[in-house]
Structure 1
Amino acid sequence: MSAPEAPFLERTPVMLSALEHYDYCPRQAGLILLEDGYADDASTVRGTLLHHRVHEPGEDNRPGVRTLRALPVWHHGLGLTGVCDVVEIYDDGTVLPVEHKSGPYTPGGPADVQAAAQAMCLEERLRTTIDSAAVYSSADRRRHTISMDGDLRARVVGTAERVREVMDETRLPAPAADQRCRRCSMNITCMPKVLANHKKFDKLRGALFSPAPETDWDD
């Protein structure tokens, strides 16, 4: 394995998993990256159990296709690094990364960004062009194919830059305080309802840190 080139070393590396977190909710990504604030719930535990097999490095060979599991990848130009759950390499040269998810698949959702980023990393590592990626959802036991078009690639690049800004500036993004918060395992840590209500938050903060009344010591 060759050493990363200079552009990668000079930029803050961004994990592939952070792209999905940020695309879903910037504050969620910030809490994980800056405060190690990840919290589990039933959904995340199911995801962890699902990934036990695909996160074990290994290789399978079937007629016409070679399957790699837990493959480390990176992209020097974008400063991305991470692990592909599954990569299928076909005899005709086709390369297909397959990201595994425990929950239902949402077309155009955050999982697409993570799978596309894996494909872009593989393109650099394998010196090839990848036309599609896939997300496997255990909820519906289906593989969903994603087209690697220009818009999705630009979305990966933009998301990577925004994640890097959060890490470099060490500043948490504002809470979403919308329907996403109800099913987020980090709701308690994030406190979206409190922090999104700026007037209430400023009032509570002012009461907590208000200076003590001045005392006339000459009396």
Structure 2
Amino acid sequence: MTDAAPQADGVPLQQVTLSALEHHAYCPRQAGLILLEDGYADDAATIRGTLLHQRVHEPGHETRGAVRTLRALPVWHDGLALVGVCDVVEIHRDGRVIPVEHKSGSYTPGGPADVQVTGQAMCLEAMFGRPIPHGVIYSAADRRRHTVAVDAVARDRVLTLADEVRHTLATATLPGAAADRRCRRCSMHDMCMPRVLARKDAITRAASKLFTPQPEAAWDD
């Protein structure tokens, strides 16, 4: 990632990708492993997602009726230092612009995907110069479109998460492991070792006892 244009105070914001926002919203440590250590691992779910995105990540466009569809559209917001790629952007004849994010799994209201599509909408607003009050997440699992409100709460969440990602990058420090139910379905489980890290204090105490020299009297016994 590169630096964005300087802000009003002269300090440039570090660019943050919309995919990093989604990873961070799901688990800050997962995002840290990807951003700081180039770590990534596939499982069945991520491979399904990759195959799904192959169908929508071929750049192109088409028009059907009153809707023009753009695929794999690069988006950015210089002022907020956000950058990414939209799976699909629908441009309607009545002026509406709607980002459509494709996901292979089921949709979770308020989940990380909402953050990604909200960020896409914010970028598209800056590029097209018009308000975008909602986006769409298409779930391949249930073959449905789910509308996501791009309201003040959703926008603030994007900005907060972007600042948290920048903090991770600036400090080059991996966030702690969640060690909860998210870990069971995370493809990076083996790389992260959440259960080991969750017991770090206990392991440190055990190691201290194991490697601390014993008094000479103890050996005499």
Instruction: With the length of structure 1 as denominator, give the TM-score of the two structures.
Output: 0.90
In structure 1, distance between residues paired with 2:184 and 2:132: 36
Aligned to 1:96: 98
Are the structure 2 counterparts of residues 66 and 182 from structure 1 closer, same or farther at C-alpha, using a change threshold of 3 Å? same
1:203 positional shift: 3.2
Aligned to 1:42: 44
Counterpart code for 1:200: A
Q: Render the CA deviation track for 1:155-204: whole Å, top value 9, x for unaligned.
A: 01101110111111100000000000001000000000010113223236
Are the structure 2 counterparts of residues 198 and 54 from structure 1 closer, same or farther at C-alpha, using a change threshold of 3 Å? same
Structure 1 counterpart SS, 2:21: helix
Residue 163 (1) aligns with residue 152 (2) = no
Aligned to 1:12: 14
Are the structure 2 counterparts of residues 84 and 108 from structure 1 closer, same or farther at C-alpha, using a change threshold of 3 Å? same
1:206 positional shift: 4.3
In structure 1, distance between residues paired with 2:5 and 2:177: 36
Aligned to 1:125: 127
Counterpart code for 2:138: Y
In structure 1, distance between residues paired with 2:209 and 2:89: 55
Counterpart code for 1:157: L
Whether the 8 Å CA contact 1:194–1:200 is kept in 2: the answer is no
- List alignment gaps of at least 5 residues for structure 2: 215-221
Aligned to 1:194: 196
Whether the 8 Å CA contact 1:18–1:163 is kept in 2: the answer is yes
Structure 1 counterpart SS, 2:14: coil
Structure 2 counterpart SS, 1:105: coil
Counterpart code for 1:182: R
Aligned to 1:30: 32
Aligned to 2:146: 144
Whether the 8 Å CA contact 2:5–2:13 is kept in 1: the answer is no
In structure 2, distance between residues paired with 1:92 and 1:5: 33
1:205 positional shift: 5.6
In structure 2, distance between residues paired with 1:9 and 1:56: 36
Whether the 8 Å CA contact 2:133–2:150 is kept in 1: the answer is yes
In structure 2, distance between residues paired with 1:211 and 1:78: 52
- Sequence identity of aligned pairs in percent? 59
- List alignment gaps of at least 5 residues for structure 1: 214-219
Counterpart code for 1:187: H
Q: Render the CA deviation track for 1:87-137: whole Å, top value 9, x for unaligned.
A: 000011100000010010001111000000000000001111001001001
Number of aligned residue pairs:
210
In structure 1, distance between residues paired with 2:206 and 2:140: 44
Are the structure 2 counterparts of residues 124 and 202 from structure 1 closer, same or farther at C-alpha, using a change threshold of 3 Å? same
State which of 184, 201, 205 in structure 2 corresponds to 1:203.
205
Aligned to 1:52: 54
| CA RMSD across the alignment | 2.0
Aligned to 2:74: 72
In structure 2, distance between residues paired with 1:212 and 1:75: 58
Counterpart code for 1:11: L
Instruction: With the length of structure 2 as denominator, give the TM-score of the two structures.
Output: 0.89
Are the structure 2 counterparts of residues 125 and 9 from structure 1 closer, same or farther at C-alpha, using a change threshold of 3 Å? farther
1:53 positional shift: 1.5
Are the structure 2 counterparts of residues 206 and 56 from structure 1 closer, same or farther at C-alpha, using a change threshold of 3 Å? farther
Counterpart code for 2:24: Y
